[in-house]
Structure 1
Amino acid sequence: MATRKIRKFIGIVLLFATGISLFFVPWIVVKAWLLPLPVSVQEQADEAVGLGFSGIIIYADVANELPKTYTAGWHNRELKIAANPKALFKIASIRKLYTAVAITKLVSGGQLALDKTLEDYLPELARRIENADKITLKMLVQHRSGIPNYTDSDDYWASPKENNAENLALILDLPANFEPDKSYEYSNTNYLLLAEIMDRVLGYPHFKFIQKEILDRLQLENTFKSVKDVDVERVMSGYHIGHPLDLKTDDIGMLATAEDVGVFLRALNNGSVFDPGEMEVYSSIYEFEHKGWVPGYQSIAKYHKDIDAVVIQFTSTTDPKLYYWNLADVEYNRTIKIIKNNLE
């Protein structure tokens, strides 16, 4: 009898806890999770727009099928231009995959060494960044440096800085968040410093190296360093809840089509972007998928080994509380379920 009462009590506690957790989950995310699963990826894209995204692009490269791109919503909401499968999109932190490949190639070529320190490559920062003499190149790649993240600065996205020097100034002389290699913390500062190191070692802007060794190699003609390098009308409009303007002209990082990102991700995972021996180096330092976020733009790039599929998702709406970040995850996972169902 006592055991039954205890079980009943535990059940009530669990039900209460579930109710509390649901209370704190945005209902738009709960709704997306509970909706019946559509039959097609196109229906899923339409559903995502119905839930609040201004526009969405999904690129799916599934084994033994021709790659397909699905769109819904707007390329430009104000002008009522429909979403374009060939649109350029700000891929944000997905760029880190390209950076890690470039680092791998420079290490393989003997121009960089994973065990050399930040102080070795940028000695002028030795007194401005704590533990610069202990932080290795590998730690920077793996987000194990302990260096604070400049985008965590108060109200950073309300007025982003215009160049690396201004961004770096936000964290100079700050204490480390942890001792090098003792923990993990995602920090955009790590990749800013890797960019500076590559520029110095190469003697020219490192994006030229990315262009030659990655983009040209894979014949990716729709991947660019900056919005300044493209016809801005090719860029999908981006919107941030609470901000009245289209954010497509803001110069924040690389742009690419979903197809270009998909081709790159396939080459990253099957090794064709690498020369002999490089895949082993890359595998030891970084991951094979990524997400990206800047105001107005969210992106997911993943390879699914079980179905040999690369699926890229771009969604052109963000919000201050990151509800749409979670919503994008739900929509992406539903798309993968649809693809798997259609393969059965």
Structure 2
Amino acid sequence: MTRQQTKLIITTTLIVGTVISLFFVPWIVLKAWILPLPDTVEEQVEEITNYGFDGVIVYINQGGQKQEFYAAGWKDKERKIPASPYSLFKIASIGKLYDAVAIAKLVNDKHLSLNKTVADYFPELEGRIENAERITLEMLVKHRSGIPNLTDTPNFWINPPKSSEEALERILDLPANFEPGEKYEYSNTNYLLISELIEKVTGRSKFQYIEQEILLPLGLVNTYASIHDVNLDDVMSGYYVGVEEDIKTTDYGSMLATAEDVGIFLRALNDGSLFEGEEQMIYSSIYGYDHTGLVPGFQSIARYHKDIDAVVIQFTNTTDFEGYNWNLSEIFYNRIVKILRKRKTT
């Protein structure tokens, strides 16, 4: 199947999916919600594949216990390769946690100021991004800029931009969604600008900075900048409901990592061992300590649960337009956490 045919199928699926979702109650979501809770995480992970997911990976890093690795379903269903808990996965917006840590470190080192504006750092964008002279770096990090979200622009997922310049071009000269600082609205454009800023002030690629300042100190060697930096055989396949083709080769600009690497990073983020000096205080003032991620074919959840001192990472490799698979992934994630809580009390 050609790339153009695949794009046509995805477009058709989006339209048909919208119509269908108006008439059918997501009974499968209700069923998953009321299912009896299994006794073990392993049983729960296996159960996930009965609800429209081709494959799943779960990693648990609980204080005082050995790391736990689980996988079910397919890593590559066409070649009948079983899911592996050690596969690389597109972590999508979980990467914003790494970006926010980088900003905290650069602010602590006085290379950046949270109070400086987009126009201060990118004078060429004044007049091209509305309110550039009033949108501060802090607003960008906190998603309070009002800059339109580039991934909401027409055909973004069908024809993803081939460069950051092309991505930014999609929102230039568009009106702001709201006045700077007025409210919160998630916008990937904020973090595109943040990525460009990190590179501008460090003289390195953003990933090189993240690798030097975050990954290497934690001993993380299974985190990568993009699909162009890895052996694709190491990457879990990605599937979109209604499209048979594996879409893992499409580049949406996502970092890749194993669940273990994400989990180790998340624990260091939450216990503070990732930070030096005033970095943690700065970070806490600008961003959160967990995240989810979603690009076509890949959805991920990364959270720390203080009451049971557990980092739980879940990757699922099947997405849909209606969002049922996202709702299901959240339900199954919460069920895994319930099993861990129950296990801790017995």
One fold, TM greater than 0.5? yes
Kept after mapping to 1: 8 A contact 2:149/2:187? yes
Which residue matches 2:294? Answer: 293
Contact 2:247 2:297 in 1 (8 A): yes
* Equivalence for 2:257: 256
Match of 1:7 in 2: none
| CA distance in structure 2 between the partners assigned to 1:311 and 1:77 by the alignment | 25
- Measured at CA, do residues 57 and 110 of structure 1 come closer, stay the same or move farther in structure 2, by a change above 3 Å? same
User: Aligned equivalents of 1:149 and 1:86: distance in 2?
Assistant: 33
Which moved further from structure 2: 199-208 or 34-43? Answer: 199-208
Cα distance in 2 between the residues matched to 1:134 and 1:102: 23
Q: Aligned with 1:97: secondary structure?
A: helix
Shift of 1:171: 0.7
2:119 & 2:56 partners in 1: Cα distance? 43
Match of 2:66 in 1: 66
- Supply the AA of the counterpart residue of 2:240: H
Query: Is 1:333 aligned with 2:297?
Result: no
CA distance in 1, matches of 2:162, 2:43: 39
Counterparts of 2:205 and 2:145, CA distance in 1: 24
Q: Deviations over 1:93-142 (max 9, x none)?
A: 00000000000000000100000000000000001000000000000000
Aligned-residue CA RMSD in angstroms?
Answer: 1.2
Give deviations 1:7-27, integer Å, cap 9, x for gaps.
xxxxxxxxxxxxxxxx87511
Could you tell me how far apart the structure 2 residues matched to 1:40 and 1:251 are? Answer: 36
Amino acid at match of 1:70: Y
Letter matched to residue 155 of structure 2: D
Which residue does the alignment assign to 2:15?
Answer: none
What is the one-letter code of the residue matched to 1:254? M
Residue of structure 1 equivalent to 2:167: 167
> How big is the shift at 1:204?
2.1
- Whole-angstrom distance in 2 between the partners of 1:127 and 1:152: 21
Residue 52 of structure 1 corresponds to: 52
Aligned mates of 1:278, 1:202 — CA distance in 2: 17
What displacement does 1:207 show? 1.2
SS of residue paired to 1:61: strand
Gaps in structure 1 of 5+ consecutive residues: 1-22
Partner of 2:233: 233
Give the superposition deviation at 1:31: 1.0
The letter for the 1-side match of 2:279 is E
For residues 198 and 127 of structure 1, the distance between their equivalents in structure 2, rounded to whole angstroms, comes to: 22
1:151 aligns to 2:151 (yes or no): yes
Unaligned runs of 5+ in 2: 1-22
C-alpha deviations, 1:186-217, integer Å up to 9, x for none? 00000000011111111221211100000001
Which whole-Å CA distance do the structure 1 matches of 2:118 and 2:278 have between them? 25
Give 1:155 deviation, angstroms.
2.8
Cα distance between partner residues in 2 of 1:164 and 1:283: 28
| Paired AA for residue 309 in structure 1 | A
Displacement after TM superposition at 1:251 (Å): 1.9
List structure 1 runs of 4+ shifted beyond 4 angstroms: none
Partner of 1:86 in structure 2? 86
Is 1:274 matched up with 2:275? yes
Give per-residue Cα distances to partners, 1:262-288, cap 9 Å, x unaligned.
000000000111112111000000000
SS of the aligned residue for 2:300 comes to strand
Give the whole-Å Cα distance in 2 for the aligned partners of 1:266 and 1:24: 40
Where does 1:124-143 land on structure 2 (aligned, <5 Å)? Answer: 124-143=124-143
Cα deviation 1:168-198 (Å, max 9, x = unaligned): 1111000000000010000000000001111
DSSP 3-state at the match of 2:286: coil
Structure 1 or 2, whichever has the larger Rg, is 1
Structure-2 residue corresponding to 1:215: 215
Q: 1:10 maps to which residue?
A: none
**Partners of 1:49 and 1:87 in 2: CA distance:** 17
Q: Which amino acid in the other structure matches residue 328 of structure 2?
A: L
Give the Cα–Cα distance (whole angstroms) in 1 for the partners of residues 149 and 115 of structure 2.
Answer: 22
Aligned partner of 2:306 in structure 1 is 305
Any conservation in 1 of the 2:160–2:251 contact (CA below 8 Å)? no
TM-score for the superposition, normalised by structure 1: 0.92
Equivalent position amino acid for 1:35 in 2 = L
Alignment of 1:1-150 (within 5 A): 25-150=25-150
